[in-house]
Amino acid sequence: MRITRSLSCFSVFLLFFCAAFGQSPAVAPAPAKPNVTSAQSPETLEFQKIEDSWADAINMRDQYALELVLSPLFVDVSATGDITTRNQQVASVITGEDKTVHMEQRVITVRMLGDIAVANGTYTLHHKVNSAEMNEKGVFTHVFERAHGGWLCINSQRTVLREDSNAKPRKQSNAELPFHIPGFSRSEKAPQ
């Protein structure tokens, strides 16, 4: 009987200890704060690297690097409305008829939609038009698809920014987002 009583007391103590320990809040270590070196999101930085690879492939006339960025299903709509495929883009790099072509692209926003990503940004394209060199500045929308552990561009749309020769200098926007639609965003004159 003494052993049973001791075993019962030990069981009650053990049960009490487990219940008390289970009730106490677990103290988790505070998450380490990452070193913030950029205001850009990780996605923006990732897609900027892809856009840099794309521009470098064009600038260096590198067929294989271009094939690593563009999907076999790629369709490009240029700022002039010309529609080309991946094979046509690669052929253009191979022939290199315009030796002055130089591309720079800057990613502004990236929207992740599962295995699809939409990157918006700005570009500058230095090239020849009728033997005259020009710098074309505009905005782009690139649609990427996750494939084989990376991203391939499946669609590209470019729009040239209109240059207004007699325009007044524009004030810097203080909009919270990089892209905004006039009339739908807050105005400095409107009550907030």
Nearest alpha carbon to residue 93 among 72, 65, 71: 65
Q: What pLDDT score was predicted for residue 166? A: 62
Check residues 107 and 95 and name the one with the higher pLDDT.
107
Report which of residues 153 and 3 the model is more confident about.
153
Predicted confidence at residue 55, as pLDDT, reads: 96
Which tens digits make up the pLDDT trace of 19-76? 555 554 444 455 554 454 556 899 999 999 999 999 999 999 999 999 999 999 999 9
* Domains of the chain: residue spans and CATH: 42-160 (3.10.450.50)
Q: Identify the pLDDT of residue 152.
A: 98
- Residue 166: C-alpha distances to residues 139, 148, 161 (Å): 22, 49, 15
Nearest to 84 by CA among 96, 92, 94, 76: 76
Kindly state the average pLDDT of the residues 7-15.
Answer: 55
Q: What is the pLDDT of residue 192?
A: 47
Mean model confidence pLDDT for the chain: 79
Please report the DSSP string for 69-86 in residue order: HEEEEEEEE-TTS-EEEH
Q: Answer whether 0.75 is exceeded by the pTM.
A: no
pLDDT at 164: 64
pLDDT over threshold 70, residue 160:
yes
pLDDT at 10 over 80: no
- Asked whether the predicted pLDDT for residue 91 surpasses 70, the reply is yes
| E strand or H helix that includes residue 6 | helix 2-23
